[in-house]
Amino acid sequence: MATISSHCFRHLPPRIPKFRASSSLSLSTLSCSLAQEEDLDRNGNASSITTTNGNSSSYFPKRGQTLELVCESLAFKGKGLCKVTDTGFVVMCDRALPGERFIGRVTRKKGNYAEVSKVKTISPPRDIVDAPCEYASHCGGCKTQNLSYEAQLRAKEDQVRELVVHVGRFSHKELELEGVMKPIVTCHIQFHYRNKMEFSFGPYKWLPKESLHERQAGSDNYALGLHVPGFFDKVLNVDKCLLQSDPANKVLAAVQDCWRDPQLDFSPYDVHSHKGFLKHLMLRTGRDVVTGHPEVMVNFVTSSNKPELLKFLVDKLSAFPEVVSIINNVNTSVGNTSVGEEEYTLYGKSCITETLRGLTFQISANSFFQTNTHQAEVLYELIEEYAGITGDGSEVVLDLFCGTGTIGLALANSVKHVYGYEVVPQAIADARLNAEINGIHNATYVQGDLNKIDENFGKNFPKPDIVISDPNRPGMHMKLIKFLLKLKAPRIVYVSCNPATCARDLDYLCHGVAEQNIEGCYKLVGLQPVDMFPHTPHIECVCLLELC
């Protein structure tokens, strides 16, 4: 059984005490409800600051009302969980940090909570640091960069604990005294950890109000960068991103240096008029399996197939020794996706390579691969430890939501057989290719939608000893929950990128669903939060369930 070295863990200072507002809302309640609220109304009406006095008329704030607030903790998507200073009414505010006292304007009222935008800070947050990125104040890529890393970890660990207690219905005794929940695993590489970044082209650079006087004319105003949070049509120009690799930043700088030249006749795509050529620039970084040197794939997503237009950029970028692949995805649809209907290799290879858990993986322009390779090693080591593989080659593994097969293939050499299921056809094709590349012949991959399984599901594979489930953010469908409860595999390793839906599914598997007359049959014996993406609100969890 694999073990995790002690340096991966960090015991954090005591968590921030929870407040109890009279609205009776908890972090968990808000996280679950906000998970389904994707758009923030940003058209709040202007108003003067309102003094609240706690009476019924002022307890529920109105849209446009301006309030004095204190941020208590971080919740879903890194939003600040705040309370009105006089009444305790709960509000959510983007970019508010724990301990910060500020003036906020109500932009949206939803039932018994509201959302606000920050007008000005009265007193700074606890654990504030200087963000090293010049775009941190406006970019949505890593919005907690100005919060110390220790505080980020504490907030993430807090959020998982609250959700598992209040949504999952597990007691603090189970989590703490019985040692079920472990301290969050830190990420020792906190910048330049992403192996994939996608930048968008736009006809206008988005500028904050204080910089509007800097707006330029013509092609100098074209933008290449990241979307402003909440806006599909506004692009913040970015010359360097501290989350991606140094070789990828060199490529980004080279593109920024020349693509606005009128003589090159490039036009950025306009999402409103649906005109323009350049849509996206995707940069992926891997490693040569022999030398260990970085490999960069450059993927231009365009609205039409015009290779002659891209020739100048191809010649310029192919001069970089790290660039081994230049791809053109042609997407003629009006949508903003980076996946093209057609794909062309303009230079070098059609794939780059990366190694994970001793295996080699080929990564194409649109294939899925863990975005933080270094931390994926830590995550997969945890999964292997929780799986409890005996190593005698007798066990069968069912790998649900298997993606390109990375988790199952990492276990394959120690088990009898791996059966993987995934809805995306290209991912299944990549999983089969990855098995072939690594000489693994005891892995079977099947394309199918796990949200639409019927009574025949499970007849094409033997009863597994271990189930690995790694669903996307919505978690597992009730049909799959029922199947697992009927299957009664000895162990389930649940890997989650959304602690809210993870807590819900753990509740179903362990405690059942009374209103549907479903009994749970598992015991939660391990819960390990993992910080995969520093400076972002994202949290990964690995959970071990054993049959009662």
Q: Which residues are catalytic?
A: 497
3-state helix, strand, coil in the chain (%, to 5): 25, 30, 45
Contacts by 510-518, CB closer than 8 A, 24 or more apart: 510/168, 510/170, 510/545, 511/169, 512/485, 513/478, 513/481, 516/478, 518/481, 518/482, 518/485
Show Cβ contacts of residue 90 under 8 Å, excluding neighbours closer than 6 positions.
21, 23, 25, 30, 81, 82, 83, 112, 113, 114
The residue behind tokens 């310029």 is 316
CA-based nearest residue to 328, from 353, 352, 303: 303
Three-state SS at 339? coil
Say how many C-beta atoms besides its own lie within 10 A of residue 246's C-beta: 11
DSSP 456-489: TTTTTSPPPSEEEE---TT---HHHHHHHHHH--
Identity at 191, one-letter amino acid code: F
Q: Are 34 and 75 in contact (CB under 8 A)?
A: yes
User: Order of strands, edge to edge, in the sheet holding 540-547?
Assistant: 443-447, 417-422, 396-400, 466-469, 491-496, 540-547, 522-530
What span, in angstroms and rounded, lies between the C-alpha atoms of 208 and 231? 14
